[in-house]
Amino acid sequence: MENLKKKMCGQKDKMPIKLVNFYRVKQAIEYLSDNFKEQPDLSLIANKINMSPYHFQRIFKDWVGLSPKKFLSYLTVDFLRHKIRETDNMIHAAEISGLSSQSRVHDLFVHIEGVTPHQYKTRGLGMEIVYGFHGTPFGLCFIAVTEHKIVSLKFIDMDMADATLHLFEQEWNRADIVQKQEYTQKLVTQIFTAGNRNDRLELLVKGTSFQIKVWEALINIPFGQVASFQQVAEIIGQPKAVRAVGSAVGVNPVSYLIPCHRVIAGNGTMGNYHFGKARKQLMIGREAVFHDSDITSGKQLTMGT
Query: Any idea which residues carry the catalytic annotation?
Result: 260
Mean pLDDT lowest for which of 88-102, 182-196, 224-238, 282-296? 88-102
Q: What pLDDT score does 2 carry?
A: 53
Residues 87 and 105 in one domain: yes
Predicted confidence at residue 83, as pLDDT, reads 92
Q: Which of the four pLDDT bands, split at 50, 70 and 90, describes residue 95?
A: low
Q: Distance (Å, rounded) from C-alpha 128 to C-alpha 145?
A: 9
Residues 127 and 204 reside in one and the same domain: yes
Cβ neighbours of 57 (radius 10 Å): 16
Per-residue pLDDT tens over the stretch 142-171: 999 999 999 999 999 888 999 999 999 999
Last residue of a domain, one of 46, 74, 102: 74
Phi and psi dihedrals of 298, rounded to 5? Answer: 100, -10
Query: Residue 235 belongs to what domain range?
Result: 77-293
- The pLDDT of residue 55 is 93
Dump pLDDT digits (tens) for 16-75. 787 888 999 999 999 988 888 888 888 999 999 999 999 999 999 888 888 888 888 899
In terms of domains, do 257 and 206 share one?
A: yes
* Higher per-residue confidence, 5 vs 190: 190
Asked whether residue 16 falls in the same domain as residue 102, the answer is no
Question: What's the pLDDT score for residue 65?
Answer: 81
Q: Is residue 301 predicted with pLDDT exceeding 80? A: no
In this prediction, residue 4 carries a pLDDT of: 62
Q: How far is it, in rounded angstroms, from Cα 120 to Cα 114?
A: 9
Global pTM? Answer: 0.87
Per-residue confidence (pLDDT) for residue 72, from 0 to 100: 86
Which of the listed residues 59, 74, 89 is the one where a domain comes to its end?
74
Whether residue 176 lies inside any domain: the answer is yes
pLDDT on residue 194 = 63
CATH number of the structural domain spanning residue 213: 1.10.10.10
Domain co-membership, 147 together with 288? yes
Q: How far apart are CA 71 and CA 281, in angstroms?
A: 10
User: What integer pLDDT is reported at residue 103 of this predicted model?
Assistant: 38
Do 289 and 212 sit in the same domain of this protein?
yes
* Residue 254 lies inside a defined structural domain of this protein: yes
Domain boundary among 50, 74, 98: 74
CA distance 277 to 37: 18
pLDDT tens digits, one per residue of 170-229: 999 999 999 999 999 999 999 988 655 567 899 999 999 999 999 999 998 988 899 999
Cβ 263 vs Cβ 228: under 8 Å: yes
pLDDT at site 281: 93
229-261: per-residue pLDDT in tens? 999 999 999 999 999 999 999 999 999 999 999
Output the 3-class SS for the chain: CCCHHHHCCCCCCCCCHHHHHHHHHHHHHHHHHHCHHHCCCHHHHHHHCCCCHHHHHHHHHHHHCCCHHHHHHHHCHHHHHHHHHHHHHHHHCCCHHHHHHCCCCCCCEEEEEECCHHHHHCCCCCCEEEEEEEEECCEEEEEEEECCEEEEEEEECHHHHHHHHHHHHHHCCCCEEEECHHHHHHHHHHHHEHHHCCCEEEEEECCCHHHHHHHHHHCCCCCCCCEEHHHHHHHCCCCCCHHHHHHHHHCCCEECCECHHHEECCCCCCCCCCCCHHHHHHHHHHHHHHHHHCCCCCCECCCCC
pLDDT class for 296, splitting at 50, 70, 90?
A: very low
Same domain, 130 and 87: yes
Give CA–CA dist 31/278, Å, rounded: 10
Task: Give the pLDDT score at 101.
Answer: 38
| Structural domains in the chain (count) | 2
Task: Convert the pLDDT of each residue in 20-34 to its tens digit.
Answer: 889 999 999 999 888
Per the domain annotation, does 30 fall within a domain?
Answer: yes
CA dist 233 to 114, 242, 250, Å? 20, 6, 14
- Segment 121-132, tens digit of pLDDT: 999 999 999 999
User: Does residue 279 share a domain with residue 142?
Assistant: yes
Residue 94 has pLDDT above 60, yes or no: no
